Structure 1
Amino acid sequence: MKIYVYILFIIIGITLSCNSSKSFSDKENPKLENDTIRIANDEIEYEITIIDIGFSNWFNTNARPRNFYSQNYLEARNRTWVIEWNRRANSPINFDSNLYEMQIDYNSTTDYGYEVNYMLFNYFVYFQQKYNQKLGVFSARL
């Protein structure tokens, strides 16, 4: 009888552990179709255009689903990474000017919304991993 109870608990445990992972639908995390990405918040007239071959494929296979991170988390990472990006863009002698072609105008007091911060965060992670760069103290991981 002890063996049957033990086996029953194992079966229940396995069943619960298999069902405990949260699934995200494609509606929550739509796939990117091409390598030119437009990130915009039309309410505040802000737009980022990313033209980087490979980003959409990386995004579709590696990015965490939307709402995995809080907006505050994304803003904190973006703020740090934008500061370092702009520092490097202003120092073409010290850093590859092909990587840091222009500055990013990111005001930490402006609420750009979740989508802009989410896509910018993912681009920074992709950029740091692809080009083996480290923009600040936070490591580029998902």
Structure 2
Amino acid sequence: MTAYDPSNIFAKILRGELPAHRVYEDDRALAFLDIMPRAPGHTLVIPKNPARNILDIDADDLGHVAGIAQRIARAGMKAFAADGITVQQFNETAGGQVVFHLHVHVIPRHDGVALRPAATYKASNEELAAAAEKIRAALKNL
């Protein structure tokens, strides 16, 4: 397996070198909106410790990321009046991984509404800011 590359885009977001619409952060994890959402509220949850994917992450960090993903899922359900949640996590190129820092996709869903195809729609800054505020507000009330 290839080693972790600290120049990946999510590592740059963690270091503050690139902007992100952050919705949750603690000492071990960060949750922020996907700039190419497959549905409104599409959020990514990542560990702060370097981890290429599920194959090399520390088990405690993976458990923490899973717990935060659950909190984000609950907030997404509320914030977007969703009917369900899709949770996805990809590993290595053959598994569909594009950014090689472990990340969990948490996507609010509505009955009868298909996900946008991956990497086909870039949300505006205003759209992302509004979605982030909805999720942050919902997290306060969980």
Q: Which has the higher strand share?
A: 2
Query: What TM-score does the superposition give when structure 1 sets the normalisation length?
Result: 0.28
Q: Which has the higher helix share?
A: 1
Query: What TM-score does the superposition give when structure 2 sets the normalisation length?
Result: 0.28
Which of the pair has more CA radius of gyration?
1
